[in-house]
Amino acid sequence: TLVNQVVTHLIQAIRSREGSFSSIERLGAGSYYEHVKVFEPNEFDIMLVMPVARLQLDECDDTGAYYYLSFKRNPKEKYLLKFLDEDGKLSAFKMLQALREIIKQEVKNIKDVEVTVKRRKAGSPAITLQIKNPPAEISVDIILTLEVQQSWPPSTQDGLKIEQWLGRKVRTEFRNRSVYLVAKQNKKEKVPRGNTWRLSFSHIEKDMLNNHGSSKTCCESDGPKCCRKGCLKLLKYLLEQLKMQYTKQLDKFCSYHVKTAFFHSCVMWPKDTDWQLGDLEHCFQKYLGYFLDCLQKSQLPHFFIPQYNLLSPEDKASNYFLSKLLNYELNNRFPIFQE
């Protein structure tokens, strides 16, 4: 309720200002909205989605995930011209900066709740709000997202292999949706100029998690229950606990690695009978086994962009370190769950 109150206030305020961000819509993303949160609901991701017509996407590296954006013709959205850099590329940095300034001014006008804007983290696509909610704090990541109604880029062609799991129709329906891009700095750039954008599929990930069965009734109130989400929550919890103990060594890992491995597992074991509720322990170990395999090989393909490896071989040492910790847990009946 608190988060909604703050975000609704901000969206109304941003929209009421003439110009750049007046067309934004809100979209909840991340684990809270996917119903796979494992700790207190104290972190929220809110995408502020901004429709933009006719953008040209140019790949900026070999991952197929990062793009430079420019306008094919003069945009209808004239106010966007001020965010172009000297090469005519749409600058993620300038847009985030402008949105950040508006939000910083507007949080001062929110009565009865104490909200602050956290300092900018270099390369992060989010503007982070701290909401005081004694005795704790809630953090809300606001992520600027462009929505472009055009077909998905070629790098996604062989991704989203869900035909056996969710069906061919669902895949077609997903692929007919808009392209979403978030303002994310590409770390591979020699000289970061803040003008790269990364494809985002969180709207589709949310749908896959909320309608995860090969049968339509899986986990509905009167339908058969499966343990897919239970498995995902366990591995998320395991990683979060280990990250607390080995913050520095496991800095490279985040819940997105676990979620990607989960989607691949759903494709490998597509039937609802592969994930029966009573088989939680067995299914979890199968899924963990797949993730361990990825760590060993330093190879975890992005679910939508198969050429993009989320576990780069340059991080072999940390991949190996995490796999050692997970193997220890597996071979000793998960002491971390007993704590």
Q: Where are the beta strands (DSSP E) in the chain?
A: 25-29, 43-51, 55-59, 66-71, 115-117, 126-133, 136-148, 179-182, 197-200
Partners of residue 28 on adjacent β-strands:
46
138-148: average pLDDT? 92
Whole-prediction pTM: 0.93
pLDDT band at 194 (very low <50, low <70, confident <90, very high): confident
Residues 232 and 155 in one domain: no
Structural domain contains residue 278: yes
pLDDT digit string (tens) for 263-293? Answer: 999 999 999 999 999 999 999 999 999 999 9
Residues 61 and 181 in one domain: yes
Residue that terminates a domain, selected from 144, 172, 199: 199
Residues 195 and 278 in one domain: no
The predicted structure's pLDDT at residue 17: 84
Closest to 124 (Cα-Cα) out of 142, 149, 151, 103 = 142
Structural domain contains residue 220: yes
Structural domain contains residue 191: yes
* Residue 13 belongs to domain spanning: 1-199
Residues 14 and 119 in one domain: yes
Structural domain contains residue 209: no
pLDDT band at 66 (very low <50, low <70, confident <90, very high): very high
* 232 vs 41: which has the higher pLDDT: 232
pLDDT band at 3 (very low <50, low <70, confident <90, very high): confident
In this structure, the chain runs to a length of 339
- Say how many CA atoms lie within 13 Å of 211 toward its Cβ: 11
Which of 2-16, 36-50, 52-66 has the lowest average pLDDT? 36-50
- Say how many CA atoms lie within 13 Å of 126 toward its Cβ: 17
Residues 143 and 261 in one domain: no
The predicted structure's pLDDT at residue 192: 66
Residues 35 and 102 in one domain: yes
207 Cβ partners below 8 Å, 6+ apart? 174
pLDDT digit string (tens) for 305-326? Answer: 999 999 988 999 999 999 999 9
Structural domain contains residue 210: no
pLDDT band at 45 (very low <50, low <70, confident <90, very high): confident
Structural domain contains residue 206: no
Residue that terminates a domain, selected from 169, 199, 229: 199
Residues 170 and 236 in one domain: no
Residues 192 and 219 in one domain: no
Express as a percent the part of the chain with pLDDT over 70. Answer: 99
52 pLDDT higher than 80: yes
Token output for 21: 């961000």
* 83 vs 31: which has the higher pLDDT: 83
- Could you give the number of structural domains in the chain? 2
pLDDT band at 123 (very low <50, low <70, confident <90, very high): confident
Question: d(Cα 159, Cα 242) in Å, to the nearest integer?
Answer: 30
